[in-house]
Chains A and B, each alone.
Chain A
């Protein structure tokens, strides 16, 4: 843990140590410098050249003990259009890489890598506003080295250990530096400063940890070369047989003629080496792949170019993405599932719908009934109709339910205000109207703001049995509804079994606001309303 504590020492917030260690997106990241990051992003364009320099910055100075990072988990999220992947490396993988980079490692004297400090439990990145010390300056404990900026605050970062500032990796104005990313190097001895003159984290290591990643996406050269080369070998046109006559089945001949495939370039796998239809099909399939590679015959490590399309982020995608990411990262989710017997509910629905048809009203859907039941349950258990803030839990008196609507443009979540006070037909009408507005992309802020709880339904046409939804901040709960299915259950009657329809619902709760027992109480209330829908009249 010595390495981990060293990074924490360099971070201003010693008191945040428990927070830092608990964080998923670990502060203890010794990850890519800007140089290596950009090389990752260009990976598809210049794969071959990058192999040796790829992911190099995990250089560990020879001064640090070996087993120090066993706890540190590195997670990298590098969002780029078209290539979005996150990888997890454990330090032990990095350790094993050191063997390959021995000469690079041993040339630098012992030094401390200063990481970007975390200034709040939710801080993930920051900027360097300015350095107050320059390269070569002596730094003493308690002296301010630089000013770090995050969101709305600039905070002075102090030095913790005596030494000299050898190299500034992220200079004044550097932006979007991830917490834990190296921003400077200090050394204990003055004469070591000069050795870091040209230091740059990306050039210090060789080897490609990413190449060993089993789950790495396609643009990785080494492991992919193996599987790529074998199908290539299989599909590569073999040297044509030296005979003059080629035996091929009539169907194969016709197919070859149709697709303008020279029979001489195909190896027959039929009886007596006859070319059969399957051989032509194989050839055609593999030829499609080969054509995209520059020269299919050469196996010099060139990867087949990937075919892709870059879809730029729409505004709603951006908003949804950032909101849900923040939610998942900052809200302690837990999930409670119950199965509800919906026989009575479905009966009620058909009764109501025949009434609606007779009077010209809109059909009531199962989701409308779910919304009503959820709203009433929130009235019964208002703790689930709340929001967390740093200073208090705000319990809302209105029950405003957001309903998720999937459209071509993305996911919208319009709101039904005071759903507990509305009748089923007005809920149904409103949902349909809002869904239409969503599809037309004409929702106004008042149509989706102010919700206190969300219901998300992937049953019915979507056919999902059960799922766990992500809470929409600042709400503290979301109900995920699955599809109803007929099940066989034990019977208390003359038969040994009977049929009943069940619908699975999962409540995601924010544990800061809703304790397990309270969440269970809410689900009990909800289940009560669903299984005995007449109780919604009370």
Chain B
């Protein structure tokens, strides 16, 4: 399947859109992504329209004590997932749109499979989507309009494949932000701004359907798209695969809170 091309000599890309209102729990999304990264040999683009309940998703080496207000998280029983890619912490809900690219390293010609080049490639794809709308660009590792962040990125690069996923802040609930601490490591352009001064809502710039359409269009300029249904994903991935994204247990969160107080 490696190097299989469709029309125009573009590599084949399996496109999976969940469609509006068909949201899936964040953990399932991550499991599928990791499985496709590690066991599939196809290129994928997955667009997931948010999750049901608010869920906190941390990067692979995130430390809960540093990143979360653990007491509130435990009190309100907000689920916390540690995902398999690096990067920062987000709180996702039905207002978050996820777009994930999983590619073989040869899929994009002349693209080196390293963090920065992949980041540039994805930003050039999205600049087609946001052309003329707002002042879109990639700022350090974030997608911004002007200097307000609306999309965060994370990657995992394996020997022959890579995954780049973006969580877009379509809309967010201000109260949910209070579960997250101010990160110790923040991008320089944040300039010590508070959460609300730093981020913005994508819905203020573009209707959701327009965003989805334009993303598909932009992807089509580089790939030959093959729409896929969920059932097809389930069958083409191995049953024995054990994903590493997982929920943090209450015990783990409590232990982190205790350690913090010491």
How many angstroms between the C-alpha atoms of A128 and B118 in the bound complex? 21
Q: Would you give the shortest CB distance from B30 to chain A, in whole angstroms?
A: 13
Convert B116-133 into 0s and 1s, putting 1 for each residue whose CB lies closer than 8 angstroms to a CB of A.
101110011000000000
How many angstroms between the C-alpha atoms of A473 and B187 in the bound complex? 12
**Is the CB–CB distance between A150 and B86 below 8 Å?**
yes
What residues of chain A lie closer than 8 Å to B59, measured between beta carbons? Answer: 149, 152
**Is the CB–CB distance between B60 and A319 below 8 Å?**
no
**Is the CB–CB distance between A155 and B192 below 8 Å?**
no
Most buried by B among A130, A315, A323, A445: A445
Whether a CB of chain B sits under 8 angstroms from the CB of A389 is yes
**Is the CB–CB distance between B188 and A127 below 8 Å?**
no
How many angstroms between the C-alpha atoms of A325 and B156 in the bound complex? 28
Stretch at the interface among B40-48, B147-155, B210-218, B222-230: B147-155
Most buried by A among B61, B124, B155, B158: B61
- Pairs of residues from A and B, 6 with the lowest C-beta to C-beta distance, nearest first: A153-B115, A153-B155, A152-B87, A149-B86, A154-B86, A155-B157
How many angstroms between the C-alpha atoms of A390 and B112 in the bound complex? 14
Which residues 199-213 in B have Cβ within 8 Å of A in the complex? none
Whether a CB of chain A sits under 8 angstroms from the CB of B85 is yes
- Chain B's closest residue to A446 (CB) is B197
Which residues 136-166 in A have Cβ within 8 Å of B in the complex? 142, 144, 147, 149-156, 158
Whether a CB of chain A sits under 8 angstroms from the CB of B262 is no
On whether A154 and B114 interact (CB within 8 A), knowing A319-B191, A389-B137, the answer reads no
Whether a CB of chain A sits under 8 angstroms from the CB of B141 is yes
On whether A152 and B61 interact (CB within 8 A), knowing A391-B124, A449-B191, the answer reads no
**Is the CB–CB distance between B88 and A119 below 8 Å?**
no
Q: List 25 A-B contacts (CB under 8 A).
A: A120-B114, A130-B60, A144-B159, A147-B60, A149-B61, A149-B86, A150-B115, A151-B86, A152-B85, A152-B87, A152-B88, A152-B141, A152-B155, A154-B155, A154-B156, A155-B115, A155-B156, A155-B157, A158-B159, A175-B61, A389-B138, A390-B120, A445-B193, A449-B147, A473-B188
How many angstroms between the C-alpha atoms of A144 and B160 in the bound complex? 11
What residues of chain B lie closer than 8 Å to A129, measured between beta carbons? Answer: 60-61, 86
**Is the CB–CB distance between B192 and A315 below 8 Å?**
yes
**Is the CB–CB distance between A120 and B115 below 8 Å?**
yes
What residues of chain A lie closer than 8 Å to B84, measured between beta carbons? Answer: 154
Q: Would you give the shortest CB distance from B162 to chain A, in whole angstroms?
A: 9
Q: Would you give the shortest CB distance from A61 to chain B, in whole angstroms?
A: 29
Most buried by A among B60, B84, B114, B191: B114
How many angstroms between the C-alpha atoms of A322 and B190 in the bound complex? 12
- Chain B's closest residue to A449 (CB) is B147
Whether a CB of chain B sits under 8 angstroms from the CB of A261 is no
How many angstroms between the C-alpha atoms of A130 and B60 in the bound complex? 9
**Is the CB–CB distance between B115 and A152 below 8 Å?**
yes
- Chain B's closest residue to A118 (CB) is B114
Q: Would you give the shortest CB distance from A475 to chain B, in whole angstroms?
A: 12
- Counting chain A residues whose Cβ lies within 8 A of the other chain, the interface size class is 35 or more
Which residues 163-203 in B have Cβ within 8 Å of A in the complex? 188-189, 191-193, 197
- Chain B's closest residue to A314 (CB) is B192
Whether a CB of chain B sits under 8 angstroms from the CB of A361 is no
What residues of chain B lie closer than 8 Å to A121, measured between beta carbons? Answer: 116
Task: List 20 additional A-B contacts (Cβ < 8 Å) besides A119-B114, A154-B85.
Answer: A120-B114, A147-B156, A150-B86, A150-B115, A152-B88, A152-B155, A153-B86, A155-B115, A155-B156, A155-B157, A156-B158, A158-B159, A173-B61, A322-B188, A326-B188, A389-B137, A390-B138, A391-B120, A391-B123, A445-B193
- Chain A's closest residue to B157 (CB) is A155
On whether A152 and B154 interact (CB within 8 A), knowing A129-B61, A389-B137, the answer reads yes
- Among the listed A153, A158, A319, A390, which residue makes an inter-chain contact with B85, where contact means beta carbons less than 8 Å apart? A153
Interface residues of A (CB under 8 A from B): 13, 15, 119-121, 127, 129-130, 142, 144, 147, 149-156, 158, 173, 175, 315-316, 318-319, 322-323, 326, 389-391, 445, 448-449, 473-474
Q: Would you give the shortest CB distance from A412 to chain B, in whole angstroms?
A: 11
What residues of chain B lie closer than 8 Å to A391, measured between beta carbons? Answer: 120, 123-124
What residues of chain A lie closer than 8 Å to B116, measured between beta carbons? Answer: 120-121, 390
**Is the CB–CB distance between B191 and A154 below 8 Å?**
no
**Is the CB–CB distance between B153 and A154 below 8 Å?**
no
What residues of chain B lie closer than 8 Å to A150, measured between beta carbons? Answer: 86, 115
How many angstroms between the C-alpha atoms of A318 and B188 in the bound complex? 10
How many angstroms between the C-alpha atoms of A13 and B197 in the bound complex? 37
- Among the listed B87, B112, B123, B124, which residue makes an inter-chain contact with A151, where contact means beta carbons less than 8 Å apart? B87
What residues of chain A lie closer than 8 Å to B112, measured between beta carbons? Answer: 15
- Chain B's closest residue to A316 (CB) is B192
Q: Would you give the shortest CB distance from B5 to chain A, in whole angstroms?
A: 26
How many angstroms between the C-alpha atoms of A154 and B159 in the bound complex? 12
- Among the listed A142, A144, A149, A326, which residue makes an inter-chain contact with B60, where contact means beta carbons less than 8 Å apart? A149
How many angstroms between the C-alpha atoms of A147 and B138 in the bound complex? 25
**Is the CB–CB distance between A151 and B188 below 8 Å?**
no
Q: Would you give the shortest CB distance from B48 to chain A, in whole angstroms?
A: 19
**Is the CB–CB distance between A153 and B159 below 8 Å?**
no
What residues of chain B lie closer than 8 Å to A474, measured between beta carbons? Answer: 189
Q: Would you give the shortest CB distance from A273 to chain B, in whole angstroms?
A: 63
What residues of chain A lie closer than 8 Å to B123, measured between beta carbons? Answer: 391
How many angstroms between the C-alpha atoms of A66 and B197 in the bound complex? 56
**Is the CB–CB distance between A319 and B153 below 8 Å?**
no
**Is the CB–CB distance between A156 and B159 below 8 Å?**
yes
**Is the CB–CB distance between B137 and A142 below 8 Å?**
no
Q: Would you give the shortest CB distance from B40 to chain A, in whole angstroms?
A: 17
What residues of chain B lie closer than 8 Å to A147, measured between beta carbons? Answer: 60, 156
How many angstroms between the C-alpha atoms of A323 and B190 in the bound complex? 11
**Is the CB–CB distance between B156 and A153 below 8 Å?**
yes
How many angstroms between the C-alpha atoms of A322 and B185 in the bound complex? 11
On whether A323 and B188 interact (CB within 8 A), knowing A13-B114, A154-B155, the answer reads yes
Q: Would you give the shortest CB distance from A164 to chain B, in whole angstroms?
A: 20
Q: Would you give the shortest CB distance from A396 to chain B, in whole angstroms?
A: 11
**Is the CB–CB distance between B85 and A142 below 8 Å?**
no
How many angstroms between the C-alpha atoms of A391 and B119 in the bound complex? 11
Q: Would you give the shortest CB distance from B182 to chain A, in whole angstroms?
A: 10
What residues of chain A lie closer than 8 Å to B119, measured between beta carbons? Answer: 152
Q: Would you give the shortest CB distance from B202 to chain A, in whole angstroms?
A: 19
- Chain B's closest residue to A318 (CB) is B192
- Among the listed B85, B157, B191, B192, which residue makes an inter-chain contact with A156, where contact means beta carbons less than 8 Å apart? B157
Which residues 72-86 in B have Cβ within 8 Å of A in the complex? 84-86
- Among the listed A13, A119, A319, which residue makes an inter-chain contact with B192, where contact means beta carbons less than 8 Å apart? A319
Q: Would you give the shortest CB distance from B73 to chain A, in whole angstroms?
A: 20
How many angstroms between the C-alpha atoms of A151 and B123 in the bound complex? 16
What residues of chain A lie closer than 8 Å to B159, measured between beta carbons? Answer: 142, 144, 156, 158
What residues of chain A lie closer than 8 Å to B193, measured between beta carbons? Answer: 445
How many angstroms between the C-alpha atoms of A262 and B60 in the bound complex? 69
- Chain B's closest residue to A120 (CB) is B116
- Chain A's closest residue to B127 (CB) is A391
- Among the listed B61, B155, B192, which residue makes an inter-chain contact with A127, where contact means beta carbons less than 8 Å apart? B61
How many angstroms between the C-alpha atoms of A150 and B59 in the bound complex? 11
Q: Would you give the shortest CB distance from B81 to chain A, in whole angstroms?
A: 15
What residues of chain B lie closer than 8 Å to A119, measured between beta carbons? Answer: 114-115
- Among the listed A120, A152, A175, A449, which residue makes an inter-chain contact with B153, where contact means beta carbons less than 8 Å apart? A152
What residues of chain A lie closer than 8 Å to B158, measured between beta carbons? Answer: 144, 156
- Chain B's closest residue to A327 (CB) is B188
